[in-house]
Amino acid sequence: MRCKSIRTKLDMYCSGDTEPDLHTKIENHLRTCENCSQTLRHQKAIEALFRQLPAPPVTADFAKRVVAAARRQASLYPQATEKTQYLVRLASGLSVSMRVAAVVLLAAGMTIGFVMGRDTWWRTTTETVGNAQITQDSSAAYGLDCLTEGANGSLVRTYLTLTFEQNGG
């Protein structure tokens, strides 16, 4: 594995959220790469400092602020909101039987998509090409590993940002 790939997975490695084969690959890389080992040591030191801090209080208006932040984010994409409103207006003019038919078609389409894509949702996939087996972490391949709920997942980052923003941090 390359250093760039290793560094994106160090949060999951520290928290024990990696699959055994990936954990072994990271350990092997850390044994031979001083730069990544040093990055890991720095990360563990920072995490230790954060653990010493008291947990920030969750204010009563926290949920309102999360919703407001989501609405601000959604306002960055007004075309999506307009399309959603159009679909709501369109659906409200349909008879009950047409709505039921639309739901059945949607469910059938989702089921077909689920069955056809059943091998694509696994976090790590192994593919045989010729005589070689290639293992790929799909979340990292598409740059989605930031959405995991590891130690530095996006939900944690959002919580800390909103909490410290309110407390003047």
Residue 147 in this model has a pLDDT that exceeds 70? no
Contact yes or no for 154/146 (Cβ under 8 A): yes
Q: How far apart are CA 112 and CA 100, in angstroms?
A: 18
Own/partner long-range contacts of 142-150 (Cβ < 8 Å, ≥24 apart):
145/8, 145/9, 145/12, 148/12, 148/17, 150/11, 150/12, 150/15, 150/17
Span 86-125, pLDDT tens digits: 777 777 777 888 888 888 998 998 888 877 776 655 555 5
CB atoms within 10 A of CB 87: 10
Specify the pLDDT at position 132: 59
Taking alpha carbons only, the member of 168, 162, 169 closest to residue 61 is 162
Q: Enter the pTM of the model.
A: 0.37
SS3 1: coil
